[in-house]
Structure 1
Amino acid sequence: MRRKENPRQLLQSVIRAFRIAEMLAEEGELGVTEIDGRLGIDKSTAYRILATLREMGYVRQNPLNSKYSNTPKFSLLGGTAPDMQLIRERARPVLRSLSERVGEAVNLGCLDGTDIVYVERIQCNEMIQVNLPVGRRMPAYCSALGKAILAFLPAETVEKLFSGTSFVQYTERTVQSLSILLAELEAIRSDRFARDLQESHPGLSCLAAPVFLASGKVGAGISVSFPAFRHPDMEEAERTIVPALLDAAVNISGELGYSGRNHEHDLPGRQPVPEKKRQEE
């Protein structure tokens, strides 16, 4: 039977820090005023806790709206959370093979609030290369990697993440609103891959696919990035690149224990992801 702690032995600052972390995990992104209102604490206390968590690397502040969100560092604390180091290790040889197969740079990324964070990269041998270094952040709504992950989250989660978000127009092709993003994510679920056709940077194109965990939940994404001029015919590029990209995503998901049979239960009514291809004996 669990012993009840003496209230005087409990540190309120620790309790508040974890409650803030739990709120951010549930809501995705919150401002100081929203946090102090929900917890019933003064703004200066909420700010000091957030500043401490940010200094330790557990939360980040969105420069566009000053709101806070958790970072992937929390995954180091829980065995059930996505272990990005494990995913990187399992993905690296597959990414290297994919890069050799398509002749372009490939990336592994995870979702952090409303951003995508690049956690692994294999560069190609072309003289003109796409430079998306590890640690680089990019809004998920204008990233193929981001959209590949968002497409396999519950729609209500995506709506919470981007509700009230200003969709900054990085190019004339950038997604302009939440309704447009949700419609695109529906198509991505059907196609099983996402596109960034010069939406984040002029001249940069990307194709991406989701990576699933043993639980059936999406845990990361992989992408192939290339200068648009190198593949001016995108239909031809997709015919060449997408089959290799999907094979790589399936292989990484399989390495992480995903069987392909449990994901459809997480998103009822949505297009299920086909089962992982059987390996030839």
Structure 2
Amino acid sequence: MSDHNNPLFNQSLEKGLAVLRGFGAARRTMNLADIAQVAGISKSSAQRMIHTLEELGYVRKHPQSRRFQLTPKVMEIGYNYLAADILVDVANPYLAELNQITGETVNLTEPDGLDMVYVARFVAPKFIPVHMPIGSRIPMYCSGAGRAYLSVLGDDEIHAMLESSDRVTFTQYTQTDISSIFKRIQNSRAQGYATNQEEMFLGDMTIAAPVINSHGLPVASVHLAVPCSRWTLPDAEQKLASSVIQCARSISNSIRTL
């Protein structure tokens, strides 16, 4: 939670970041009024923010529509995070090996708030129903990666995070009841991996295992994304789960020596 009353807190920076975060798949371009509304700031403040961001090269204005959009320079910030993230460097060889062994799409996600964020991805050569580029976010409560991460936390912390989640229904299979999700997480803790079957995307299921640091805390999750057209969940668990667990353990052991 941000402490806006702290004299060190820079509200102008907060507004500028709010403008950048306002752009996305649902709002690829925006006019000044859109920007003010999405960022929760006045129109005059939005004008100052967007002008500064345009001067710095992070946004540009279309010459005909006069609407603003992000530029590729924004990706520099995310790339710098990935380049500085030792976990990604350590994990990549193990993720690539799991991709080769299984022939399926392998992902590494890290926690941010109540979400897991994709930081590495090795795509299967075969058909996959869902495209999740680096930087994509998935909620913890209904994803295999999220449940794997949560399974390493204490019960009180798990409940607090589930209660804070919006628990949106994405498909008819999405689990939104806290007690039901908690039981799934407990099962994940016992078996060493978590699953998700079409709770976020129809035709897609995942098997995930947590990456744990030297303090016994979860820092990421490895997960395989497999299509329902090629796998049933029992078959995927039987044939793939042990490889996912081994990959996550290898990454965990490697980061403990850093």
TM > 0.5 fold call: yes
* 1:56–1:158 CA distance, 2 compared to 1 (3 A): farther
2:64 — aligned with what?
none
- The aligned residue for residue 237 of structure 2 is 238
Q: Tell me the secondary structure at the aligned position of residue 141 of structure 2.
A: helix
How much does 1:13 deviate? 2.1
- 2-side partners of 1:241 and 1:98: how far apart? 10
Equivalents in 2 of 1:206, 1:150: separation in Å? Answer: 15
Counterpart code for 1:215 = H
Instruction: Mark the CA change 1:54 to 1:177 in structure 2 (over 3 Å): closer, same or farther.
Output: same
- Residues 156-171 of structure 1: pairs in structure 2 closer than 5 A: 156-171=156-171
Partner of 2:183: 183
With over 3 angstroms needed to count, the CA separation of the structure-2 counterparts of 1:127 and 1:198, relative to structure 1, is closer
- Write the deviation string for residues 169-204 of structure 1: whole angstroms up to 9, x where unpaired: 111111122222212111110011000111111110
Whether 1:91 and 2:85 are equivalent positions in the alignment is: no
Instruction: State the shift of 1:158 in Å.
Output: 2.3
Whether the 8 Å CA contact 1:141–1:147 is kept in 2: the answer is yes
Task: Please list the CA deviations of residues 180-239 of structure 1 after superposition, one character each: whole Å capped at 9, or x if unmatched.
Answer: 22121111100110001111111101000000112221110000001111113x222211
Question: How far is the alpha carbon of 1:159 from its aligned partner?
Answer: 2.3
How far apart, in 2, do the equivalents of 1:142 and 1:84 lie? 29
Match of 1:199 in 2: 199
What per-residue deviation string (whole Å, max 9, x for no partner) do you get for residues 141-161 of structure 1? 111001100111122222222
Q: Greater shift after overlay, 191-200 or 160-169?
A: 160-169
Aligned residue type for 1:245: V
1:168 Cα offset (Å) = 0.9
Deviation at 1:120, TM superposition (A): 0.5
Per the alignment, do residues 89 and 164 of structure 1 end up closer, same or farther by CA in structure 2, a change over 3 Å counting? Answer: closer
Is this contact kept in 2: 1:149–1:220, CA < 8 A? yes
**1:140: Cα distance to partner?**
1.1
Aligned 8 A contact 1:105 1:130 in 2:
no
Q: Is the 8 A contact 2:90 2:255 kept in 1?
A: yes
- Aligned AA for 2:132? L
Deviations 1:1-34 (A, max 9, x none): xxxxxxxxxx9421x57xxxxxxxxxxxxxxxxx
Partner SS state of residue 7, structure 2: helix
Aligned-residue Cα RMSD (Å) equals: 2.9
Task: Output the TM-score relative to the length of structure 1.
Answer: 0.63
Structure 2 unaligned segments of length 5 or more: list them. Answer: 27-37, 39-76
* Deviation readout 1:229-266 (Å, 9 max, x if unpaired): 1113x2222111011111111110011117xxxxxxxx
Within 5 Å, give how 1:123-138 maps onto structure 2. 123-128=123-128, 130-138=130-138
Letter in 2 for 1:257: R
Relative to structure 1, the CA distance from residue 91 to residue 250 in structure 2 (aligned partners, 3 Å threshold; closer, same or farther) is same
Equivalent residue, structure 1, for 2:149: 149
Q: Secondary structure at the match of 2:229?
A: helix
1:61-118 CA distance string (max 9 Å, x none): xx9xx9xxxxxx9xx99xxxxx971110000000000001011000000111111111
Q: Decide whether aligned partners of structure 1 residues 128 and 12 sit closer, same or farther in structure 2, where only a CA change above 3 A counts.
A: closer
Alignment correspondent of 1:13: 7
Amino acid at match of 2:237: E
What does residue 269 of structure 1 align with? none
- The CA distance in 2 between the partners of 1:127 and 1:162, in whole Å, is 33
Q: In structure 2, what is the equivalent of residue 228 of structure 1?
A: 228
In the alignment of these two chains, the number of paired residues is 198
CA distance in 2, matches of 1:239, 1:161: 30
3-state secondary structure, aligned to 1:121 = strand
Q: 1:150 to 1:12 in 2, by over 3 A?
A: closer
Aligned-pair identity in percent equals 26
Q: Within 5 A, what are the aligned runs for 1:31-42? A: none
The separation in 1 between residues aligned to 2:251 and 2:194, in whole angstroms, is: 17
